[in-house]
Amino acid sequence: MIIFPLFSGSAGNSTYLKCKNTAVLVDVGRSAKQTEDSLIQKNLHPSKINFIFITHEHLDHVKGLHIFASKYKIPVYSSKGTINFFRKKNNSRVISDKLLFKVIPSKGVEIGDFFVKSFNVSHDCCEGIGYIFETQNERKIAFVTDTGCVTNEMRNSIVGCDTLFLESNHDVKMVECGKYPYNIKKRIISDIGHLSNEDCAKELPNLVNSGLTHIILSHLSKNNNLAQLAYQTAVSTLFEHNMKENIDYTLFVSKNINNSCCSF
């Protein structure tokens, strides 16, 4: 299993995941050129990507999708709502008749060496989803970003995962004291906005108890968060539950630009 978070944060999100002979990207939120460059830097070839999975239609998740997927003829999975949005909107930045879109079935789908399931998240978009990638050797990797809260449906989906990409978007005080207009602040903090460091951290102890060993804090806000603050909030919360870093779990903070190696 190889996992490379290529980009993470409001300037674009994309993660490379490979198991045996199947390689996928979750989101293509930077330009196709930046995505290609980032893969090549890691000795990964874009033409060897078999599938793309899109969480939702916001530009920081689909900016490079049209060019990248059509250039390399890669099928794109997403929710019905997101695919309908692409088709109806006829948004030339992300839509092309040449793109092969597939709706991810509610019971999940076997795709190469992965079994992939999705679940709904709570975000102000058409039909945002998170993903679970299961492998034959019982690895279970979960992606949860762009959600204003964690619902019971989400908890039930991700319980038992060994690796989790979880949004740790902002520090609430930094948002409140920051320079954004009131309506934007309200949107970020709302249940259909983004997940705060505190709300992210409080989900972790139960998940570590149920088998989570690798935590990747993702989608950090450039203006309303600090990597050290997100890291410290998660580690302190886990420490209160007697869970120690590098003994009970490992923790990695996905940076805004071109992350280095992260493979498990």
Task: Give residues in contact with Zn ion (CB under 5 A).
Answer: 58, 60, 146
- CA-based radius of gyration for the chain: 17
CA-to-CA distance for 141 and 211, rounded, in angstroms?
11
Instruction: Specify the DSSP element, H or E, that contains 81.
Output: helix 80-89
Note whether 87 and 100 are within 8 A (CB): no
Q: How far is the CB of 124 from Zn ion (least distance, A)?
A: 7
Q: Ramachandran region of residue 233, left (φ > 0), alpha (ψ -120 to 50) or beta?
A: alpha
CB of 100 to Zn ion, least distance (A): 24
Smallest separation, CB 13 to Zn ion (Å) = 6
Taking the complex as a whole, the smallest distance from the CB of residue 12 to Zn ion amounts, in Å, to: 9
Nearer of residues 113 and 167 to Zn ion, judged by Cβ: 167
Q: Which is nearer to Zn ion, 113 or 127 (CB)?
A: 127
**Residue (144 or 204) nearer to Zn ion, CB:** 144
**Shortest distance, position 230 Cβ to Zn ion, whole Å:** 15
Report the Cα–Cα distance between both ends of the chain, in Å, rounded.
Answer: 6
Closest separation in Å from C-beta 85 to Zn ion: 12
Identify which of residues 104 and 144 has a Cβ nearer to Zn ion in the complex.
144
- Using CA atoms, how far residue 245 sits from 38, 59, 204, 240, in Å, is 29, 34, 12, 12
> Nearest-CB residue to Zn ion?
58
DSSP class of residue 132 equals E
Nearer to Zn ion, 164 or 235 (CB): 164
Residue (of 146, 145, 144, 140) closest to 163 by Cα position: 140
Q: In one letter, which amino acid is 194? A: H
Nearer to Zn ion, 134 or 146 (CB): 146
Helix (H) or strand (E) holding 201: helix 197-201
